[in-house]
Chain A
Amino acid sequence: MTLPIAHGIAQRADLPITLGLFLFGSVVVLVVSFVALAVLWRRPLFEPYPWRPLSGFLGRVLSSRPVEILCGATGVALLVLVIYAGLKGQQTAAANFAPTFVYVIVWVGMVAASILFGDVFRAFNPWRVIGRAVALVARLATRGELPPPLAYPRRLGYWPAATGLVAFTVLELVNSTPDDPSTVAIATLVYSVLTFIGMALYGVDAWTTRGEAFSVYFNLFSRLSIFETREGVLGLRPPLAGLTRIQPGSGLVLVVAAMIGTVSFDGLSETGLWVDIGGALGDLFGSLGLSSETAFEASNAVGLVAMVALVFALYRLGIAGMKILDERRPAGQLADWFAPSLVPIALAYVGAHYLTLLAFQGQAITYLASDPLGEGADLFGTAEVGISYFMGARLIQWLWVALVVGGHVAALALAHDRALVVYRDEQDKVVPSQLWMLAVMILFTISALLLLLSSNA
C-alpha cells in the first residue's frame, strides 16, 4: 500500500508575505470581528429587515412585463444555442460557445450578477419560462380545467437541488472530458428533461423554489444583494439580510455544504497532495479492473464526495458544540437555522477560486458569441477580439485573501444576528454559542487560504 504524501501543500513562491502571516492576519481579523460583534451588535438588525420599493423610472422599467418577457426569451434562446452549438459546432472547447457559456458565464458569472443585481437568474431561467408558457397554453387549451400539481413533499425539501448541484459538479470536476461541447449539450438536455418532469409533477413555482438546482443556488447568492423583488415590485433591502428569509427545509445544509465542498475539491485537485492521493486511489480502482479513465473519474468522485462530507461534518461539529448549551432545540433545527450564514463563505470560495476564470476566460465569450459553432462566422464583428490579462498575480492574491476573510466575517455577522433572534430570551447563550461558529469559520478560512495560496508542490 502507498501512503501518498510525497508532495504536500507548500507555499507559493510569489506570495507578497509568508503563508503563515496571511493565515495569522486572517484569523486575527475574524477574532477581532467576533469581539466587535459581541460588544457592539446587541439586537437583531436583519430580522425583520426594512424593504422599500425602488421608485422612479428605473424601478418601473425593471419590474415591467416587457422586460420580464425579454429576459425570459433571451434565456430560452441561450438554452437552445448551448444545445445546438454543443451538438452541431466544432468539438473543441476553445472554439465552441457551449462550454465557456455554461462553465464560466452561467456557473460563475451568474453568481456575480446575483450579488450585484439580485435574483437575475429567475428572470432568465429558461426552464421556468418554458414551464410557465406550457402551463399557460395548456390552461387555454383546456379552458382552465388543468388538474392542480401534486403538493411538494415536505420531506423532499432541498434534496433535489442538492443532488442537482453535486451532479453538475460531477460533470465539471469528476468527468475526464468536462469541456467536451457535446457532453455539455447532452447534460443540458438531460437536466432540462428532469426539470420539466419535476415542474409537471409539483408545479413550476414549487419546483423552481426548492427542487431546481440552479434556481436554488443562484437564489441563495442573490440574498446577499441589496435588490429584492416582492410581488413583482423591485425594491431595496440591507445587504446580507435576504438570507434571513430563507424557508428552512431538509437538505438545506447539504446544499450549502455542496456549494463550499465542491469548490474546495476544485482547489484541492490542483495541489500536489491530490495528485498523490488521487493517483493512489486511481491505482486502487485500476487494480479492481477499471480502465485508467474510469479509475481517474472514480478517484475524483471519491474526493468530491469526501470534501462535501467534510464541510458538512465540520458544520455539524459546530452545531453539536452549540447543542451543549442548548438543551431545548434539536440539533437538526439549529443546523437549518444557521445554515444560511454559510452562504457568504460559499461566495468567498467561488469568488476566490474562479475570479481569474471569470475575469480572463469570461472575455472569450465576446468572440465565441460571434462564432458560436467555431465555423469562422463573425456575427457581431467580435470574432477577432483577444483576451486581456489585466490583473497581475499580486493583485489577484490580495483579492483572494480579501474575499475569503470578508466572506467569513459576513458569515460571523449573520450567525451572530441569527443567534440574537434564536436566543432572544436567553441572552447569556448568544456569545458562547457563537464561539463554536467562530471556531468553524476559522477552520474554513485556514482551509480556503491553504488551498488558494499553496503551490502544486
Chain B
Amino acid sequence: MTFVIAHAGHWLVTIAYFIPVIGFMAWLAVTQLKARRQRERPDSDRRPPA
C-alpha cells in the first residue's frame, strides 16, 4: 500500500492550532498535581529540622 502525504502540510498546520492548548493542559496538570502532593504531605515533613 502507498503512503499518500502529498498535502500533509495542511493537516500538520491544523494540528499545530491545538498544540498551545494541549501545552496549557499539561502545565495545568503538572502545577495542580504538585500543589496536591504539597497538600497531602504529612505536616511533620514540612517542619524544619530540629
Give the residue of A2, A317, A435, A457 whose beta carbon is less than 8 angstroms from that of B2.
A2
Binds B, one of A4-12, A141-149, A385-393, A417-425: A4-12
Contact, CB under 8 Å: B11 / A273? yes
Chain B 1-34 per-residue mask, 1 if CB under 8 angstroms from chain A, else 0: 1111111111111100110010011001100110
Using Cβ atoms and an 8 Å threshold, which residues of chain B touch A10? 7, 10
Using Cβ atoms and an 8 Å threshold, which residues of chain B touch A7? 7, 10
A interface majority secondary structure: helix
Known interface pairs A5-B11, A436-B28; A324-B21 also in contact (CB < 8 Å):
no
Q: Which residues of B contact A (CB under 8 A)?
A: 1-14, 17-18, 21, 24-25, 28-29, 32-33, 36
A325 to B40, CA, bound (A): 12
Nearest chain A CB to B49's CB is how many angstroms away?
29
Contact, CB under 8 Å: B10 / A325? no
Nearest chain A CB to B42's CB is how many angstroms away?
16
Q: Count chain A CB atoms within 10 A of each CB in B6, B14, B33 and give the residue with the most.
A: B14
Contact, CB under 8 Å: A439 / B24? yes
Known interface pairs A2-B2, A3-B5, A5-B4; A457-B32 also in contact (CB < 8 Å):
no
Nearest chain B CB to A442's CB is how many angstroms away?
5
Nearest B residue to A317, CB-CB: B25
Give the residue of A8, A442, A443 whose beta carbon is less than 8 angstroms from that of B7.
A8
A435 to B26, CA, bound (A): 12
Nearest B residue to A436, CB-CB: B28
Nearest A residue to B39, CB-CB: A327
Give the residue of B6, B14, B33 whose beta carbon is less than 8 angstroms from that of A6.
B6
Using Cβ atoms and an 8 Å threshold, which residues of chain A touch B11? 5, 8-9, 273
Contact, CB under 8 Å: A321 / B25? yes
> How many A-B pairs with Cβ below 8 Å?
71
Chain A 17-37 per-residue mask, 1 if CB under 8 angstroms from chain B, else 0: 000100100000000000000
Taking CB atoms and an 8 Å cut-off, the chain A residues in 388-426 that contact chain B are none
- Is A1 an interface residue, CB under 8 A from the partner? yes
Give the residue of A4, A317, A436, A446 whose beta carbon is less than 8 angstroms from that of B17.
A446
Contact, CB under 8 Å: B28 / A435? yes
- Is A48 an interface residue, CB under 8 A from the partner? no
Q: Could you write out 24 A-B pairs with CB less than 8 Å apart?
A: A1-B1, A1-B3, A2-B2, A2-B3, A3-B5, A4-B4, A6-B4, A6-B5, A7-B7, A8-B8, A8-B10, A8-B14, A9-B10, A10-B10, A20-B17, A317-B25, A321-B28, A321-B29, A327-B36, A435-B28, A439-B28, A442-B21, A446-B17, A446-B18
Nearest chain B CB to A25's CB is how many angstroms away?
13
Nearest chain B CB to A34's CB is how many angstroms away?
12
Using Cβ atoms and an 8 Å threshold, which residues of chain A touch B8? 5-6, 8
- Is A276 an interface residue, CB under 8 A from the partner? yes
Nearest chain A CB to B27's CB is how many angstroms away?
10
Interface residues on A, range: 20 to 34
Taking CB atoms and an 8 Å cut-off, the chain A residues in 425-457 that contact chain B are 432, 435-436, 439, 442-443, 446, 450, 454, 457
Q: Which residues of A contact B (CB under 8 A)?
A: 1-10, 20, 23, 272-273, 276, 317, 321, 324-325, 327, 432, 435-436, 439, 442-443, 446, 450, 454, 457
Give the residue of A20, A273, A324, A327 whose beta carbon is less than 8 angstroms from that of B33.
A324
A276 to B25, CA, bound (A): 30
A76 to B4, CA, bound (A): 52
Nearest chain A CB to B38's CB is how many angstroms away?
12
Contact, CB under 8 Å: B4 / A450? no
Nearest B residue to A443, CB-CB: B21
Nearest A residue to B12, CB-CB: A8
Nearest chain B CB to A125's CB is how many angstroms away?
40
Using Cβ atoms and an 8 Å threshold, which residues of chain B touch A454? 14
Using Cβ atoms and an 8 Å threshold, which residues of chain A touch B17? 20, 23, 446, 450
Contact, CB under 8 Å: A5 / B5? yes
A20 to B25, CA, bound (A): 21
Using Cβ atoms and an 8 Å threshold, which residues of chain A touch B3? 1-3
Q: Count chain A CB atoms within 10 A of each CB in B3, B13, B25, B28 and give the residue with the most.
A: B25
Nearest chain B CB to A426's CB is how many angstroms away?
12
Known: A1-B3, A5-B8, A443-B21. 14 other contacts (CB 8 A): A5-B4, A6-B5, A8-B10, A9-B10, A20-B17, A272-B7, A273-B11, A321-B32, A324-B29, A439-B21, A439-B28, A446-B18, A446-B21, A457-B7
